[in-house]
Structures are given as structure tokens and as C-alpha cells.
Amino acid sequence: MVRRPVVIVGTRTPLESSEAGSQSGDVRQGLRCGGRVIDRLVRAQDTDPWAIPRAPSDGEAVVLVHQRRVGTVDDTLFDELTGLALAAGAQVLARLHARRHRPEPGGFLGKGKTLELAGLVESHCATLVIVDQRLSPIQERNMERVIRCRVIDRTRLILDIFALRARSREGQLQVELAQLRYLSTRLVRGWSHLERQRGGIGLRGPGETQLETDRRLLGNRIARLKKQLERVRAHRSLVRRGREKLPLVSMVGYTNAGKSSLFNGLTAANVLVADQLFATLDPTIRKTELAGIGTVLLSDTVGFIQGLPTTLIEAFRGTLEEVRLSNLLLHVVDMSDPQHLEHSHQVEETLEEIGAGAIPRIVVLNKIDQVDMVASVRRFGTGEVRSVAVSAATGEGMTGLQGVIAERLRGVRVLKRLRLPPTSYRLRAQVYSLARVESERIDEDGHCVLDIEIGAASEGRLAAQKEFDVAYWAD
Ligand SMILES: Nc1nc2c(ncn2[C@@H]2O[C@H](COP(=O)(O)OP(=O)(O)OP(=O)(O)O)[C@@H](O)[C@H]2O)c(=O)[nH]1
Ligand SMILES: [Mg+2]
């Protein structure tokens, strides 16, 4: 018998378990859904008599929903959400798209589409619906009531993936903070336990509502987390001060663009590379040698995505600080991604948002082995590097990229403040020979405070002087 997958509306990941495995899956699914599973199997065979009825082998069974105002609707719309759902460990069973001028304030989808969704949930025994757009708490709750299934939006899904991936203490605290902040916007009236709580002696009269209690508890937890984060960050900034003398180059880009692959290629490191959204969450920093520059720090960090929740950006301030303090950014673009232009804009917007908009950057066009491109360095009319085409997979163009990084670092100049002890005459003379001094003054302790503009390579040379101490860099 020819093996054909179950007919499922718009499914991209046909259920992949073996025939034998699928039967046990059916039983499991049957237990979970009661009589509905029989209905589903019968229906599947109605539409395709050759179909082998199979149920999801593992992962939460989800239906994806995308609603847009205008434009054509096709299945590529779901690519990113599918990637996110898979990254969260879901099993995508069906997808529903809708077009509506404005989301229904009460229920997000229109009536007809909500019923269609309820049908899909029922027929696929789904346990979760993921909506690609942001939902208000009311919309979420109303949808859940009609569909009789848990509903989450894109923001909550991204938060969930981050929670799964966070390994470092700082990462975990940041995710928890973002989740609590998200939750605090979801505390709405309308739950059955909202009556006034009964007060005891001295607490009679109008007590606190459950909602108020929840808010207060959340507020306390958020405040505690913030304090813990401050402590972890204080430690990180100490570490950072220690390496301030070396130029810092950070990889930035859309998630899955190949940042970690390039990072490994440039530093001979072995950080996780995976065809998965948000494979990297915690930043990694490695030293690498560049001809004509010397030692440089390279940092690999979390990728960006369209609609990155603001709560996450705020909570990840610490991680993103690395990006903000960089001397140079490598903006990695996945050339095999049909939406790479749109995604590059998103990255640029996020860089602005985190205060890294003015940092010099090189656009690295990656994955050229997947498209019709050859390794090359493109320049503006002024001779300045515009982009470098490479493939982290084949290694094509990597030497060129190293050359360009060195070239840009030589040209990158940063504004810094130095506070030298009263007797550092030789060091002060070095500063004048290596940097452009904007201003100089003597402070109340007799220290010499210099505001300078200095190139990254010269900065390294100055910091390498015997009498130099990193504590001389003033904030
Ligand atoms: N064909 C091809 N695949 C590549 C190339 N560079 C990276 N990849 C693949 O793209 C996928 C994502 O690579 P990563 O290096 O993990 O991407 P990332 O930007 O670090 O992703 P996140 O950490 O999830 O944001 C992996 O499957 C890589 O093997 C390349 O030049 N060519
Ligand atoms: Mg990565």
C-alpha cells in the first residue's frame, strides 16, 4: 500500500512516525481526546481513502493562526511561525489564515473564522492554538471560551522559547522578568475568584481583591528579580572593564542567519549551530587574532526577530549591552531567505531601539552557497566597505571577511574619557601621539581628565603600555 500522509489542512510537517509507532500514537491520542479521535480518523479517511490515519507522536498538538489586513495569503506566511512553534517543541497539525480589515476587538477573528478554527482544533485534537499577531487578554480569553482550547500569541511563544533556551543565570533571570512583565499586563478582571477576600481581625471591611493581591505579588517578584539582575550585572560589568582595552566586534542579525556558524569560523570556537530559531540566547565572547590589528574580541549573541517583544528587549538589556558597547557590528544576513530584505530592516530597527544604531557595521551576506552568488567584497564609491559575501558553511570568503574587519577596525574611532594619575607624564604623551585629544582638564584630585577620539587599534596599543591600567578609562 502506498504510504500517504493524513490529509490535514495546510500541514507542512506531515506526521512522521512509523506506521507501527503511529498506531500507538493513535491510542495515546485517543485517550487524550476521547471519542473525538474516531471522528477525526473517519473524517481523514473520508477525504482520502488511502490515507493512513496517524496521530502526532510527540510534542504539543497545535493549530497556527495568521490574520492579516491586506495582501495575498499563502503558505509562506506561516514559515516563521512554524519555525517558532517547532523551536518550542510543538507539533504543527493545521494552519488557518484569515483576512480582516481590523481584528475583532472581542475575539480577534470574525465569527465564521472562529468556528472554522474550533472545527480544526476539534478534528485535529489540538491542545493549543498559536496566533501570529498580538492578542489582547480579552481576545485571548474569548477565543479560548469558544474554541475550548488554550490560545497564546506570538509574544508568549517567543517568551516560551527563550525560557527553554536560557542557560546562564543572567539569561534565566532576564527571561523570568520578561515573562512576569508580560503576565502583569494580562491580569484582567473577570475571573470567578475576584470577590473581595474575607478579612480577619483588623482586616475587616473592604479587603484586597484577588486581582490586587496578584498584582502586588507579581510586583514584589519583579522587584526581587530586578535586584538579583543588578547584582549579576554588576559582576558582568567588572568582567567587562577587564577586557575593555581590546576592540569588541559583535555579530548581530536575524535569528538563524548563521551568526554562530560565522563566529565559529572566525574564532575556531564550537558554539551551538542549529537550524532552529533562537538556538543562541546567552552571549559568548572569544578572542581572535587579526592581521595588522592583533587580538580582537568577537561576540556571538541572541538573534533578532520581527515583533521581538518589548518586554524581552527591556529584560535583555544586559545581554544587548555587549552589542551597544561594540566597536564594530557584523550584520549577518541570510541570503537564502526570501525575506532577507525585510528582516534586515527589522534588525536595523532593533539596533536603533537598543541604542546601537550609530555603531559602524559591515553587512555580511551569508549562505551564498545556497544562492547564485560568489564570495566578494562590495564597496561604496568612497571606497568604504558596504558588504561582504561569504559562506560560513563552505568557508568561501572568510579570509576576505577577516581582512575587511581589520580594515574597518583600523578606521573605527571612538570617543572615550581617560582619567590619568597626576604623575603619568609618559602615558599622557602617548595619548597625544595615538589619539586626537578633544579636551583636557585637571580634576579636584589632581588627576588629568582627557576626552579623546581614538582608533580601535591605537586603543589596543595604548592599553598595552606597561604603566596603563584599565581603571584609567572613566565611564
Ligand atoms: N547552506 C548554508 N547553511 C548555513 C550557512 N551558515 C549557517 N548555515 C546553517 O544555518 C542554520 C543556522 O545557523 P546558526 O549559525 O545556528 O545561526 P544563528 O544566526 O546563530 O541562529 P540563532 O542563534 O538561532 O539566532 C544552521 O543549520 C547552519 O548550519 C551557510 O553559509 N550556508
Ligand atoms: Mg546562534
Instruction: Look at residue 415 and tell me whether its pLDDT is greater than 80.
Output: no
Q: What is the 281 CA–ligand 2 centroid distance (Å)?
A: 7
Query: Is 3 part of any domain?
Result: no
Tell me which residue range forms the domain holding 235.
169-240
Going by pLDDT thresholds of 50, 70 and 90, the confidence category of residue 463 is confident
The atom of ligand 1 lying closest to the CA of 257 is: 19
How confident is the model at residue 4, as a pLDDT? 34
Q: What is the 75 CA–ligand 2 centroid distance (Å)?
A: 26
Boundary residue ending a domain (392, 411, 430): 411
Phi, psi angles (nearest 5°) of residue 159: -60, -40
pLDDT digits (tens, 9 = 90+) for 124-153: 999 999 999 989 989 999 999 999 999 999
Cβ atoms of 124 and 93 within 8 Å: the answer is: yes
Total number of domains constituting the chain = 4
How confident is the model at residue 453, as a pLDDT? 83
pLDDT digits (tens, 9 = 90+) for 416-459: 889 999 989 899 999 998 888 989 999 999 999 999 888 777 87
Q: Per-residue b/e over 359-396, b at no fewer than 16 CB within 10 Å?
A: bbbbbbbbbbbeeebebebeeeeeeebebbbbbbeeeb
How confident is the model at residue 20, as a pLDDT? 33
Cβ atoms of 436 and 300 within 8 Å: the answer is: no
Instruction: Look at residue 166 and tell me whether its pLDDT is greater than 90.
Output: no
402/283 same-domain check: yes
Place of cell 506531515: 14
The atom of ligand 1 lying closest to the CA of 392 is: 31
Going by pLDDT thresholds of 50, 70 and 90, the confidence category of residue 245 is low
Ligand minimally distant from the alpha carbon of residue 337: 1
Query: Is 2 part of any domain?
Result: no
CA pair distance 80, 92, nearest whole angstrom: 12
* Mutate-to-test residue for ligand 1 from 164, 256, 319, highest number of ligand atoms within 8 A of CB: 256
Per-residue pLDDT, averaged over 352-360, amounts to 89
69/216 same-domain check: no
Going by pLDDT thresholds of 50, 70 and 90, the confidence category of residue 184 is confident
CA pair distance 112, 302, nearest whole angstrom: 39
Q: What is the 184 CA–ligand 2 centroid distance (Å)?
A: 30
For the sheet with 90-99, list strands across it. 90-99, 60-68, 128-131, 150-153
Q: Whose CA is nearest to atom 11 of ligand 1?
A: 275
Boundary residue ending a domain (385, 411, 437): 411
Q: Whose CA is nearest to atom 6 of ligand 1?
A: 258
In 3D space, the residue among 208, 186, 214, 182 whose CA is nearest the CA of residue 196 turns out to be 208
Per-residue pLDDT, averaged over 18-25, amounts to 35
Going by pLDDT thresholds of 50, 70 and 90, the confidence category of residue 191 is very low
Percent of residues, the chain, with pLDDT higher than 70: 80
254/343 same-domain check: yes
How confident is the model at residue 205, as a pLDDT? 53
Query: Is 4 part of any domain?
Result: no
Q: Whose CA is nearest to atom 2 of ligand 1?
A: 367
pLDDT digits (tens, 9 = 90+) for 42-71: 343 334 333 333 334 567 899 999 998 877
Cβ atoms of 159 and 309 within 8 Å: the answer is: yes
Going by pLDDT thresholds of 50, 70 and 90, the confidence category of residue 404 is very high
Highest mean pLDDT among 99-108, 217-226, 335-344: 335-344
* Mutate-to-test residue for ligand 1 from 86, 251, 255, 261, highest number of ligand atoms within 8 A of CB: 261
How confident is the model at residue 23, as a pLDDT? 36
Q: Any idea which of 51-65, 217-231, 318-332, 379-393 has the lowest mean pLDDT?
A: 51-65
pLDDT digits (tens, 9 = 90+) for 1-11: 333 333 333 33
Q: What residues flank ligand 1, with Cβ below 6 Å? A: 253, 255-261, 273-280, 303, 366-367, 369-370, 391-393
Q: What is the 131 CA–ligand 1 centroid distance (Å)?
A: 26
Q: What is the 393 CA–ligand 2 centroid distance (Å)?
A: 14
Query: Domain containing 322 — which CATH number?
Result: 3.40.50.300
pLDDT digits (tens, 9 = 90+) for 79-122: 899 999 998 889 999 999 888 888 888 889 999 999 999 999 99
188/274 same-domain check: no
How confident is the model at residue 194, as a pLDDT? 37
Query: Is 330 part of any domain?
Result: yes
Q: In residues, how long is the chain?
A: 475
Q: Whose CA is nearest to atom 27 of ligand 1?
A: 275
257/394 same-domain check: yes
User: DSSP per residue over 66-98, as a string?
Assistant: EEESSS---GGGGHHHHHHHHHTTEEEEEEEEE
377/391 same-domain check: yes
381/404 same-domain check: yes
Boundary residue ending a domain (207, 240, 273): 240
How confident is the model at residue 332, as a pLDDT? 97
Query: Is 8 part of any domain?
Result: no
Q: What is the 279 CA–ligand 2 centroid distance (Å)?
A: 5
Query: Is 40 part of any domain?
Result: yes
Instruction: Look at residue 224 and tell me whether its pLDDT is greater than 50.
Output: yes
The CA-CA-CA angle for residues 356, 362, 368, to 5°, reads 130
Query: Domain containing 445 — which CATH number?
Result: 3.30.70.240
How confident is the model at residue 13, as a pLDDT? 35
Query: Is 275 part of any domain?
Result: yes
Query: Is 111 part of any domain?
Result: yes
Q: Whose CA is nearest to atom 13 of ligand 1?
A: 258
233/306 same-domain check: no
- In whole numbers, what is the pLDDT of the chain averaged over residues? 79
Query: Domain containing 27 — which CATH number?
Result: 3.40.50.11060
How confident is the model at residue 438, as a pLDDT? 87
* Diameter over CA atoms, the chain: 90
469/394 same-domain check: no
CA pair distance 466, 296, nearest whole angstrom: 19
250/392 same-domain check: yes
For the sheet with 448-455, list strands across it. 436-442, 448-455, 413-420, 473-474
CA pair distance 318, 233, nearest whole angstrom: 7
Going by pLDDT thresholds of 50, 70 and 90, the confidence category of residue 40 is very low
146/74 same-domain check: yes
**Which protein residues have their CB within 5 A of the ion that is ligand 2?**
260, 279-280
The CA-CA-CA angle for residues 269, 252, 178, to 5°, reads 105
Instruction: Look at residue 214 and tell me whether its pLDDT is greater than 80.
Output: no
258/183 same-domain check: no
